[in-house]
Every structure is written in structure tokens, then in C-alpha cells.
């Protein structure tokens, strides 16, 4: 059995890509997208017609609506291949606007429903800012499931659990990147690998807290830099993995062992934590890594959204 199939015994495997033609060979349950992945896909010759068709069909619509329709078009194609859910992201430029995030999410769901996609096959991705988390809580109460992304800190996870969001995506690789860059020449790669990787440790802390206190929100590790990080989280609810790393897992037959266990987490001694807006903002402010990576991630997604808009305007 290869590592990918072995991993699937412990964890739901999700593909992190906009390149839906790669999906079938890895047989993931779910898939995640974001503006950066869609931008990357539409610049490939095989997807250029999809961009052109969408723009031509909705040329009279506002640009932001055409963008959502393009994202939904990709999501709909992905859902023809996978059996589970697709995550589609709200524009990162709305990350600090609760009402606009909520309204945009509603529209994305309506566009999916117009394509005949059941609401339970869609997760709306929202940045895990305070405003994003509050919007997600409202969407959940309306029956729209959410995936809280750009999650780097324990306080973000706590607030998401309180809001009863469907799923969170802690970013393993970007946490690792920050600590490695900050350490500079003192970084010891072998000593900080596997279970000692700071990104892996962050997900483990969140996973154990959620399972200990019976929080139903799903934990999906994301943003991996290597297969070692993935295997160190075997047993996590879900892991979303790029096609490149899926290929590496499929090519290896090294053994895979469960690393996270819900039953074991229930026996860990933990104290409950709660956050209101003030304590959330303070806790996030005190976490330099999370503060920097959250801001950086929002800016990067916003830049790629603008690039995608320019491609649509030129089509």
C-alpha cells in the first residue's frame, strides 16, 4: 500500500488545487480552492477557454459577480470528479467587513444552487479575522457551511469553535516558514521536523483541544511544505494537500502510523478557553507569527484576486 492510500485509513484526504483535471488519479474526498490557485489554473492553456466562456457569458455583470461565477464554474467542475465538498473563497479584500463577507458568501451559494449543486457540497472559505469568524457564525446558523482559512493561532481556533463553524484550515507550512526565517542560521531542520515542526505542533494543539472538549468543528491541516509534515498529522480530521505532494505520497510505500488520536486527546488535561472580541484581538496581537502571516496571507490573496480580475477584463 502506498502512503497516500495508507493515510486515507486515518484521515480524509483533500486536494488543494484549481487544476481539476489532476484530481481523478488521487481520488480525494474533498477539494479546496482559493484565488491564487484559480489564477494559476486559468493561465494554463487547457483552462483558458473556461475563463473566456465565463467572461463572455456574463460580460454585462459587475466584475465581482463575474469573479464569483468563475470560482463557481471551477467548483462545479471539481464536484463532477470528487464525491465530497468543494471550498470556494470569499474575496480576501472583504476580510475586515462582516456584512460584505456574509452577503458575498450568500451569493456564491446561490450561484452554486443555480447550477444544481446541493448546499451541503459547498464550504465557503472565509479568512479567520474577527469579522470573518462572526460572518461565518451567521452563515452557519443559516445552514451555510464554512471553512475558516488563514488560521495561524490558537485564539483563532478558539473563536472559530465558539462560532460553531464547520471546518478550520490551520496553515502548517506558513507557520513553519515564519519560524524558520526568524531563526535564521540557528534553525536545525532535523530537530524541528515531524512532530517537532512548529506548524505540526500548532495543529496538534488545536486538534487535541477540540476533541477534548467535544467541539464539532473539523480540523483540516493545510499549506504543507513536505510529506513529513503531512505524515506527522495522520489522524487529523482532514488534510488538504497539493497535487505535487499527493504524487510524492502515492510514490512511496514507507509505513504510515496514526499520529493524532481523538480518544487520546480526551484524556489530556486541558483548561477551557473563551474569547470575546477584545481578548481575541489581544491574543492575536501577542502572537507575532500569527499577526504577520494573517496580514501577509490576506494581502497575497487580494493581489491575486486583482490579477484574476485583470485577466477577465482582458478576455
CATH number at residue 123: 3.20.20.70
Q: Which domain holds residue 229?
A: 3-314
Residue found by looking up cell 486515518 in the block: 10
The C-alpha cell at 255 is 509505513
Catalytically active residues are 125
Q: 83: exposed, middle or buried (C-beta count within 10 Å: 0-12, 13-18, 19+)?
A: exposed
Strand partners, 147: 125, 167
How many angstroms separate the CA atoms of 116 and 114, rounded?
A: 5
Confidence category of residue 35, pLDDT binned at 50, 70, 90: confident
Cell triple for residue 28? Answer: 480525494
Percent of the chain exceeding pLDDT 90 equals 98
pTM summary value = 0.97
Residue 102 has a pLDDT of: 98
Q: How does pLDDT run across 115-157, given as a tens digit for each residue? A: 999 999 999 999 999 999 999 999 999 999 999 999 999 999 9
For the segment 38-86, what is each residue's pLDDT rounded down to a tens digit? 999 999 999 999 999 999 999 999 999 999 999 999 999 999 999 999 9
Residues 262-313 have pLDDT tens digits of: 999 999 999 999 999 999 999 999 999 999 999 999 999 999 999 999 999 9
Q: In b/e form, how buried is each residue of 131-147, taking b as 16+ CB within 10 angstroms? A: bbbbbbbbbbeeebbbb
* 3-state class (DSSP) for residue 306: helix
Q: Quick one: angle between helices 130-141 and 277-286, nearest 10? A: 130
In total, how many domains does the chain have? 1
Amino acid at each position: 500500500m502506498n502512503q497516500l492510500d495508507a493515510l486515507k485509513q486515518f484521515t480524509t484526504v483533500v486536494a488543494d488545487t484549481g487544476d481539476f483535471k489532476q484530481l481523478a488519479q488521487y481520488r480525494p474526498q474533498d477539494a479546496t480552492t482559493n484565488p491564487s490557485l484559480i489564477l494559476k489554473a486559468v493561465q494554463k492553456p487547457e483552462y483558458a477557454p473556461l475563463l473566456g466562456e465565463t467572461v463572455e457569458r456574463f460580460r454585462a455583470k459587475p466584475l465581482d459577480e463575474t469573479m464569483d461565477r468563475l470560482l463557481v464554474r471551477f467548483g462545479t467542475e471539481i464536484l463532477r470528479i470528487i464525491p465530497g465538498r468543494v471550498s470556494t473563497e470569499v474575496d480576501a479584500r472583504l476580510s475586515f467587513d462582516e456584512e460584505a463577507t456574509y452577503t458575498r458568501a450568500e451569493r456564491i451559494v446561490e450561484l452554486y444552487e443555480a447550477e444544481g449543486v446541493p448546499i451541503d457540497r459547498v464550504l465557503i472559505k472565509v479568512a479567520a479575522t474577527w469579522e470573518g469568524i462572526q460572518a461565518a457564525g451567521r452563515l452557519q446558523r443559516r445552514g451555510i457551511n464554512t471553512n475558516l482559512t488563514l488560521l495561524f493561532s490558537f485564539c483563532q481556533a478558539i473563536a472559530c469553535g465558539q462560532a460553531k463553524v464547520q471546518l478550520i484550515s490551520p496553515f502548517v507550512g506558513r507557520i513553519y516558514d515564519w519560524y524558520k526565517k526568524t531563526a535564521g542560521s540557528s534553525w536545525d531542520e532535523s530537530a524541528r521536523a515531524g512532530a517537532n515542526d512548529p506548524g505540526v505542533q500548532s495543529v496538534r494543539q488545536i486538534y487535541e483541544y477540540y476533541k477534548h472538549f467535544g467541539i464539532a468543528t473539523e480540523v483540516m491541516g493545510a499549506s504543507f511544505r513536505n510529506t513529513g509534515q503531512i505524515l506527522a498529522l495522520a489522524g487529523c480530521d482532514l488534510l488538504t494537500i497539493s497535487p505535487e505532494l499527493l504524487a510524492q505520497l502515492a510514490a512511496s510505500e514507507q509505513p504510515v502510523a496514526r499520529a493524532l488520536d481523538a480518544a487520546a486527546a480526551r484524556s489530556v488535561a486541558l483548561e477551557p478557553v473563551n474569547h470575546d472580541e477584545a481578548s481575541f484581538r489581544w491574543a492575536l496581537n501577542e502572537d507575532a507569527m500569527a499577526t504577520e502571516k494573517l496580514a501577509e496571507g490576506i494581502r497575497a490573496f487580494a493581489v491575486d484576486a486583482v490579477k484574476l480580475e485583470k485577466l477577465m477584463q482582458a478576455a
